[in-house]
Structure 1
Amino acid sequence: MSGADKSKDAQRHFLFLQGPLSPLYRRVGKALWSAGHGVTRVNFCGGDWLHWHGAGTTAYRGRRSDWRAHVANLMERFDVSDLVVHGDTRPYHREAVLEAEGRGISVHVTELGLLRPGFMTHERGGLVTLSRFPDDPAEIREIASRADVPDLSPRYPGSFALEAWQDVTYHLTNLATWPLFPRHERHTPQHPLADYARWCVRLAGASARRRRALREQDELLREQDPFFVFPLQVEGDYQIRSHSPFATMAEAVQHVIASFACTAPERARLVVKTHPLDNGVRNWRVDVGKSARDLGVGERVSVLDGGELGELLARAAGCVTVNSTAGFEAFLAGTPVNLLASAVFDVEGVVDRQPLETFWHEPCPPDAELVAALLRALATTTQFRGTIHNPAGLEVAVENLTKRLLRPATPAPSWLCEPPPRLARARALGVPL
C-alpha cells in the first residue's frame, strides 16, 4: 500500500491517522488501495504500528508543536484528497482536520455508533459540536421522508474480552516501544497502568457492586416521589473535554447538584448513575454525597454504581446529561431530556431546551413522530452497520466503511450543513471549539 507508488495514478489519495483499537482502518486501507486509490497511514506510537505497519505507512516522531507543518507537507506531497480519523478532536487529529479544511480536503470521522449495538458512525467534517447533520426539524423530516425504513435490530454483540485485549495490547506496546516514539503525547488523560490497576479493583468488586445497585434501584422504583436521572460519562472523555463547557465530569456534577438544590421541587429526587466503563478514578458516592450534603440535599440525591438505565428511564420524570448517548436512549423511551452541551440529537422537539431550572418543574416529553424521523435520518446519513468488538461485525464494518469512503467527494450530500449548525450555540455555552 505504498503511497509513493500509487498516488500518481490514483483517482484519490486517503490519509489515515489514528483509528479505533482494531484492524478496521488497516483493512479498509487495503480495500481502497485494491480499488486503485492511494493510501498513506501515519503512526504516532507503537500501538498504532501494531495495528497497521508495512507498505504505505510512515511514522511521526516529532514534537506535537511541529505536527501541523508535517501533516501539511504530507498532504502536499501525496496530493491528499481525503483525511480519515477516529475522533476529530484528539490533539493530532484536530490540527490535521484544520489543515485539511484549509486545503479543501474531504474530512471523514469515525466513532462508535449512536444506534448500538451493531452500528458505527461516519460523518463528513466532524462529530458532535462539529457535526454537519442538520438540527432543523423540517430538514430532518425531509431526510426521513426519502429514506428507507432502517433495520435497527441488535446485531454483533460486543465481546468484553476482545475489547480488553485490544486495549491492553495497544497500550502495553506503547510502553514497550516508548524509546522509538519519545515525544508522543497520548490523548487519554490517565496513564494506562494506573487505569488497569483501577480496573482490577473494580472487576474484583463487580458482583457485590451490582447486587447493591439493583437493590437500591428496586427501592427507588417502589417510591412514589418523582426522580431525575443524571447518567455520568467517563472522566476524561472527549465528549466532555472538547464538546462541553466543563473541564471535568466532576465539574458537571457540581453544576447539576447546585441547580437541583436551588430550584428543583422539594419532593423530587436526583439519581446520579455511574458509567458502565467507569474505572473508579473517582469515588462518586463520596464526591456526590459531600456536594449534596453541603448544599442541603443529601437525602434527595443518591448514586447508583450500576443498575439498569432502561428501567430507570421508564419511570423517570426526566434525564439530564451533558451530551451522552444515554440521552439518545432516554428520548427513545419517551423520557424528557435536558442537555448541558451540544449533541447530534440536540434538536428542538426531541430534547427539552428549557433552562435546567425550569426543566426540574416542567419537563417536556419528546415528540414521538420527530424522534422516529430523527432515528431514520441518522441511520441513513451518519450510521453504518458493523462494529470493532465482534469478528463478524468487523467484516461488515470494513465493507460498509469502504463503500462510504468511496462515495464521490463532490457534490456533497444535500443535507450536509455548513457551517456546523450546533457550533454557534455550543460556543455561546463556552465550548472551546
Structure 2
Amino acid sequence: MSVAVFLQGPHGPFFAKLAKRLSQQGITTHKISFNGGDRYFAWADFLVDFTGSEGDWASFFKSYLLKHDVEAVFVYGDCRRYHSQARVVCESLGVAFGVFEEGYLRPDFVTLEWGGVNAFSQMDWTRDAIEKYESDLRKPCAPPVGQTFWHRASYAMGYYTAMRLARSEFPAYHHHRHRDWKAEGICWLRSFVRKGLYKITERNLTSKLTREFSKRFFLFPLQTRDDFQLREHSDLLSIENAIDRVLKSFAKNAPDDAVIVLKHHPMDRGFCHYQKLIDSLEVRYSIQGRVVYCHDLHLPTLLDHARGVVTINSTVGISALLHKVPTKVLGRALYDISGLTHQGTLSSFWVEPESVDVAFFRRFHTYLYEQTQLDGSFSKAVGATIEGVVKRIESAAEGSLQAKLSITSENSAS
C-alpha cells in the first residue's frame, strides 16, 4: 500500500494518529473532512474538505481515488451516508475498504474488517468455514483499557462544537445523527448525572436479581437509539418497537415464574429513557412485577445468572454465548449460527431455548478474534491499537502479493 484515504473516524484523534503512523511508514495519507468536527481532529499528508452536496459525493470521491492512485480507504462504520456510497465506489474500482467499528468482543478490543462489518462482513461465517479454520494462536497482548467515559464524552463535545462553529463552511452536510452540538453536550452532561444517580438507586438491584431471580430472568440488553445495527441490520422500526414486541411475546409465552430484565445501553444513558413506555406495556400485557428496567448493572454478573438473552443484534449476544447463556437474535448478526443461537421463533425461546454448543463457540471465538479484532481502544492508550492496525495492513498486503504470485504461477503453468 502506498496511498491511503481516511474518511470519518471515531470521535477523537485516533484516525489522525493512525495517519501519522502510516505516513512514517512511507504511505501517503489523505484525509477528507465533511464537517468542522472531522477537520478539528484531522491529520494527514493532504487535508481536503468536501463541501458539496451528498448527491455529488460519489462522483467526487471516484475522481479523487483515480487522480491520486489510492489503494486503500479507511472509515469508521460502513452505514453512514457518505461511507455507504464510498463502499460502492471502492468495490467498483478494486480499492481496499477498511472498516473500523467498536469491538465485536468487549471491552478492550476494536474491529477492523475489509469490505464491511456486522451483517455486511465479507468473511465466511458458515459453521463449516469456522470449523475448518486453523488458528494462528494469537493471544491478547495489550493491558485492559479500563473506563473510557470521560475520553468519549470530551471528544464528542469537542467534535460537535467544532462542527457547529464551522457549519457555514459545510452548508450541505447531513450528519448521521439528528442532534446539534447543544443537544449533544446536554445529553452527555445528563449522562454523567444519571450515572451517579443510578449508582445510588440501583445499588441493591444486582443482589436481588442474582439471589431472588437467579436463572429465572431473561435479559434484553437495549441498543442505542440510532444504532445502524437496528436501522440497517434489522426489520424493527425502533427501540420502542423492539421493546413492545419482546414484552408482548414474553407475556404470552414465558413461564409464569419468569422475569424479564431490560438493560439500557450505557452510551444512550443521557439521550433517552424508556420507563414510561415500559410501565404502560406492563399494564397492557398484564405483566406487572415481572419486568425490571435497569441501567448500569455489571453485565457479566447478570449473564452468569440469566436464563436466556434476547437481543436485536448487539455484541452483548457474543458475551452471552461466552457465558453459555441461550441467546435469541431478532435482527441480522454474524454470530446467529446454528449451534450458537436459538434458531426457532421468539415465542419458542421463552419455553425451550436452545443451548450453546460450547466447543463450537470456542472455535467461533478464536476465528472472530484472530480475523477481525485488534487489542486496544479508539479513545484511550491507542498506541497498541495502531500497532495492531499496521500489522493487519502488512498482513493484508502480504496476502495480496501471495494471491498475485499464485495467479502468475497458474498462468505460467498453463
Same fold, TM-score > 0.5, yes or no = yes
Supply the distance in 2 between the matched residues of 1:412 and 1:13 (Cα, whole angstroms): 17
Inter-CA distance 412–300: structure 2 relative to 1 (3 Å threshold): farther
Give the partner amino acid of 1:309.
Answer: L
Give the partner amino acid of 1:214.
Answer: R
TM-score normalized by the length of structure 1:
0.87
Residue 177 of structure 1: aligned partner: 166
Q: Please say if 1:235 is aligned against 2:217.
A: no
Residue 123 of structure 1: aligned partner: 113
**In the comparison of the two structures, how many residue pairs are matched?**
401
1:243-298 C-alpha deviation (Å, 9 max, x unpaired): 22123211111111121122222222211111122234433121111122112223
1:14-68 C-alpha deviation (Å, 9 max, x unpaired): 1211111232222222333333333221111111111114641111001112111
- Following TM superposition, by how much is the alpha carbon of 1:213 offset from its aligned partner in structure 2, in angstroms? 2.1
Residue 14 of structure 1: aligned partner: 4
1:309-341 C-alpha deviation (Å, 9 max, x unpaired): 222211111000011111111111111111111
1:387-410 C-alpha deviation (Å, 9 max, x unpaired): 12223xx11112221222233275
- Partner SS, residue 244 of structure 1: coil
Residue 183 of structure 2: aligned partner: 194
Larger RCO (CA under 8 A, 6+ residues apart) = 1
Q: Please say if 1:216 is aligned against 2:205.
A: yes
Taking the TM superposition and a 5 Å limit, the aligned residue runs for 1:2-401 are 12-53=2-43, 55-143=45-133, 145-151=134-140, 155-224=144-213, 226-391=216-381, 394-401=382-389
User: Is residue 16–residue 44 contact of structure 2 (8 Å, CA) maintained in 1?
Assistant: no
Supply the distance in 1 between the matched residues of 2:21 and 2:273 (Cα, whole angstroms): 46
Supply the distance in 2 between the matched residues of 1:259 and 1:137 (Cα, whole angstroms): 29
Inter-CA distance 234–413: structure 2 relative to 1 (3 Å threshold): farther
Give the partner amino acid of 2:317.
Answer: G
1:206-239 C-alpha deviation (Å, 9 max, x unpaired): 3332232232332233325721000111111122
Supply the distance in 2 between the matched residues of 1:364 and 1:227 (Cα, whole angstroms): 16
Could you list the runs of 4 or more consecutive aligned residues of structure 1 that deviate by over 6 angstroms after TM superposition?
Answer: none
User: Is residue 28–residue 45 contact of structure 2 (8 Å, CA) maintained in 1?
Assistant: no
Inter-CA distance 43–198: structure 2 relative to 1 (3 Å threshold): closer
User: Is residue 217–residue 304 contact of structure 1 (8 Å, CA) maintained in 2?
Assistant: no
User: Is residue 156–residue 387 contact of structure 1 (8 Å, CA) maintained in 2?
Assistant: yes
- Following TM superposition, by how much is the alpha carbon of 1:155 offset from its aligned partner in structure 2, in angstroms? 1.8
Supply the distance in 1 between the matched residues of 2:234 and 2:401 (Cα, whole angstroms): 28
- Partner SS, residue 388 of structure 1: coil
Supply the distance in 1 between the matched residues of 2:55 and 2:207 (Cα, whole angstroms): 53
Give the partner amino acid of 1:22.
Answer: G
5+ residue gaps, structure 2: 404-414
- Partner SS, residue 268 of structure 2: coil
Supply the distance in 2 between the matched residues of 1:149 and 1:72 (Cα, whole angstroms): 37
Supply the distance in 1 between the matched residues of 2:367 and 2:294 (Cα, whole angstroms): 34
Taking the TM superposition and a 5 Å limit, the aligned residue runs for 1:406-425 are 406=394, 407-408=396-397, 411=400
Supply the distance in 1 between the matched residues of 2:372 and 2:305 (Cα, whole angstroms): 30
User: Is residue 105–residue 319 contact of structure 2 (8 Å, CA) maintained in 1?
Assistant: no
Inter-CA distance 329–134: structure 2 relative to 1 (3 Å threshold): same
TM-score normalized by the length of structure 2:
0.90
User: Is residue 194–residue 269 contact of structure 2 (8 Å, CA) maintained in 1?
Assistant: no
Supply the distance in 2 between the matched residues of 1:97 and 1:167 (Cα, whole angstroms): 25
Give the partner amino acid of 2:195.
Answer: A
User: Is residue 125–residue 131 contact of structure 1 (8 Å, CA) maintained in 2?
Assistant: yes
Segment of structure 1 superposing worse, 166-175 or 156-165: 156-165
User: Is residue 71–residue 96 contact of structure 2 (8 Å, CA) maintained in 1?
Assistant: yes
Supply the distance in 1 between the matched residues of 2:203 and 2:320 (Cα, whole angstroms): 19
Give the partner amino acid of 2:73.
Answer: L
User: Is residue 44–residue 181 contact of structure 1 (8 Å, CA) maintained in 2?
Assistant: yes
Inter-CA distance 337–412: structure 2 relative to 1 (3 Å threshold): farther
Supply the distance in 2 between the matched residues of 1:340 and 1:271 (Cα, whole angstroms): 16
5+ residue gaps, structure 1: 1-10, 415-433
Supply the distance in 1 between the matched residues of 2:271 and 2:25 (Cα, whole angstroms): 46
User: Is residue 116–residue 154 contact of structure 1 (8 Å, CA) maintained in 2?
Assistant: no
Supply the distance in 2 between the matched residues of 1:267 and 1:258 (Cα, whole angstroms): 16
Work out the percentage of aligned pairs sharing the same amino acid. Answer: 27
- Following TM superposition, by how much is the alpha carbon of 1:168 offset from its aligned partner in structure 2, in angstroms? 1.1
User: Is residue 17–residue 43 contact of structure 2 (8 Å, CA) maintained in 1?
Assistant: no
- Following TM superposition, by how much is the alpha carbon of 1:114 offset from its aligned partner in structure 2, in angstroms? 2.2
Give the partner amino acid of 1:64.
Answer: E
Segment of structure 1 superposing worse, 248-257 or 330-339: 248-257
Give the partner amino acid of 1:147.
Answer: D
Which of 380, 383, 390 is residue 402 of structure 1 equivalent to?
A: 390
Supply the distance in 2 between the matched residues of 1:360 and 1:158 (Cα, whole angstroms): 34
